[in-house]
Amino acid sequence: MEPTLTQIQEAVEDLKKGLATKSEITALIDKKLADDEVKLKAGVADQLKPVTTAVEEMKQITEKLTREINLLQRSRFASIRNSDGLYKGFWPSFEVCKDFGLFIIGHILGNTNAQEELKNKGIDCHYIDKEGNIVKTKAMGDPLIPEDFMAYLVERIGIYGVYRRNAMVWPITGGSASFPIVTGDPDVYCLEAGVAPSASDIGFGAAGLSPKVWISYIPVPRATMESAAIAIGEVVGRRLARAFGRKEDAAGFMGDGSSTYFNYIGLTQALLRVNATPALVRALAVQATPGAWSAITAQDLTNMQGIIHDDADDSVDLKWYCHKNFFYTVLIKIALAMTGSFAAEMINTAYGKNPQFLGRPVEFVPPMHRTKPAVDHVPLLYGNLRMAAVLGEARAYTLASDASVFFTADSVAIRATERIGMNNETGVGTATTATTPEDGVVVGLYADIA
């Protein structure tokens, strides 16, 4: 029988109690890795993909969302209340949640009672036209999410998105933007010793951002009334933040320049693009023994720590990034084999809220490789994303109903948009053959499958 991550977790808990041994956990992990390999080769992943039409998918999404809304109302919002009755959901309070729901029902679905209730609360709605100008007339544009909700919504996207939570956010005010980068450190001089500064003692450069409009669709029952404002506010807010956060992760970490990733280059591909020969990329630690993930060693990982730029370690933002399956089937096995404090660290943190590995936090990134693919790849990153990745943000999130998308007769499409740009190529260092070789503030493990 194939071991599961839950069984591995239970085994680690038993290890804490002295009811299991490290060799038993290692055996479980080896079996899971082997089963993952078999599944991959058999094409099980492709077989499990739902073979449905777009309309059927939208029906399923609509039905699920409707069930969520109805369940929240029938349960008197039990899932978003603490035992003392206080709000614990997506928004900061029941009141804000309800107001966002009224915004959806009133300005998106056209319910005049909801519009009037918002107006009486002093919440004004503006619109954004096709040229990006903010206007006050609905007929001229789509509703701009009011500032009463905007800041918190953007913050919550970072809860679901690893990339946004860790990258440097840079404001975009026009059609495009650039941000300054330091291209070199200053030297230190001593005039009394006859050492004067050169003509260019420090270098500055600029890197560009190419903002694009990202669009998502959320189906909402057409008959929704203002009485469902809290449920609508909770479900739509959470789904909106989760959808954008996950897509930002996909583009920011795995983007290969294709339309799938909106033509953006993610961190893993940025590393691979430094040079066609991985061994020449200063920010890549090449797996010493080619083969399966089971061939990755502790030395491969400590090599990553050795090649990263000195400035990356600020004791705050330096982290590991990988899929959780890589963590539980590769990193945990390596840490346990190292024994001592590293094994203790893994045992004590691996299944908590803040897992750590070799003294640094670990962030789980769903779009990164879950199992070993059929080509050489980068399944693990180690770096300071605040220095390596830039997310340009126009802060112009809009919501509008959209009749151009085919939905079932009892629902309406809410079209959500955000305008952002990305740049992940300024912190990956250079090739060893560069005129001025530079280490990366983010480095990767190059998994050589042989």
Are 78 and 68 contacting, i.e. CB atoms less than 8 angstroms apart?
no
Residues 6+ apart with CB under 8 A from 188: none
Q: How far apart are CA 224 and CA 221, in angstroms?
A: 6
Q: State CA 152 to chain mean position distance.
A: 17
Of 50-54, 257-261, 283-287, minimum mean pLDDT range: 50-54
Does 22 score more than 80 pLDDT?
no
Are 179 and 170 contacting, i.e. CB atoms less than 8 angstroms apart?
yes
Does some domain include residue 286? yes
Does some domain include residue 12? no
Does some domain include residue 341? no
Q: How far apart are CA 29 and CA 330, in angstroms?
A: 8
265-267-268 Cα angle (round to 5): 100
Q: How confident is the prediction for the chain on average, in pLDDT?
A: 82
Residues 6+ apart with CB under 8 A from 222: 109, 409, 410, 411, 412
- Report which residue type is found at 424: N
183-207-286 Cα angle (round to 5): 70
Does 201 score more than 60 pLDDT?
no
Closest CA to 157 of 418, 363, 425, 354: 418
Does 312 score more than 60 pLDDT?
yes
Does some domain include residue 257? yes
Closest CA to 104 of 149, 58, 157, 152: 149
Question: What pLDDT, in 10s, does the model give residues 329-339?
Answer: 999 999 999 98
Give the chain's length.
450
| Banded model confidence at residue 323, pLDDT cuts 50, 70, 90 | very high
| Banded model confidence at residue 56, pLDDT cuts 50, 70, 90 | low
- CA-derived radius of gyration, the chain: 25
Handedness of CA 310, 313, 314, 320 (dihedral sign): positive
Q: How far apart are CA 326 and CA 153, in angstroms?
A: 31
Per-residue confidence (pLDDT) for residue 410, from 0 to 100:
58
Does some domain include residue 187? no
Check residues 43 and 10 and name the one with the higher pLDDT: 10
Number of domains composing the chain? 1
Does some domain include residue 247? yes
User: How does strand 284-286 pair with strand 356-357?
Assistant: unpaired
Does some domain include residue 13? no
Domain of residue 395, residue span: 50-181+212-323+365-450
Does some domain include residue 223? yes
**CA 246 vs CA 161, 346, 368, 375: distances in Å:** 6, 27, 11, 24
Question: What pLDDT, in 10s, does the model give residues 232-277?
Answer: 889 888 888 898 999 999 999 999 999 899 999 999 999 999 999 9
**CA 40 vs CA 35, 44, 167, 329: distances in Å:** 9, 6, 32, 15
Per-residue confidence (pLDDT) for residue 281, from 0 to 100:
96
Of 19-28, 87-96, 247-256, minimum mean pLDDT range: 19-28
Q: Label each residue of 58-109 as H, E or C.
A: HHHHHHHHHHHHHHHHHCCCHHHECCCCCECCCCCCHHHHHHHHHHHHHHHC
Q: How far apart are CA 157 and CA 177, in angstroms?
A: 22
- DSSP state letters, 271-298: HHTT-SSGGGBTTEEE-SS-SSGGG--H
- DSSP state letters, 331-398: IHHHHHHH-HHHHHHHHHHTTSSS-EETTEEEEE-TTS-SS--SS-EEEEEEEEHHHH-EEEE----E
How many other CB atoms are there within 10 angstroms of residue 366's CB atom?
Answer: 13
Mean pLDDT within 190-198: 68
Of 14-28, 155-169, 426-440, minimum mean pLDDT range: 14-28
229-414-118 Cα angle (round to 5): 35
Does 48 score more than 80 pLDDT?
no
Q: How far apart are the first and last CA of the chain?
A: 29
Are 105 and 114 contacting, i.e. CB atoms less than 8 angstroms apart?
yes
Are 430 and 289 contacting, i.e. CB atoms less than 8 angstroms apart?
no
Question: What pLDDT, in 10s, does the model give residues 103-150?
Answer: 888 887 778 888 899 989 988 787 777 666 666 666 556 777 887 888
Question: What pLDDT, in 10s, does the model give residues 356-377?
Answer: 999 999 999 999 999 999 899 9
- Report which residue type is found at 205: G
Q: Which of 14-28, 361-375, 400-414 is most confident?
A: 361-375
User: Per DSSP, what are the bridge partners of residue 391?
Assistant: 169, 422
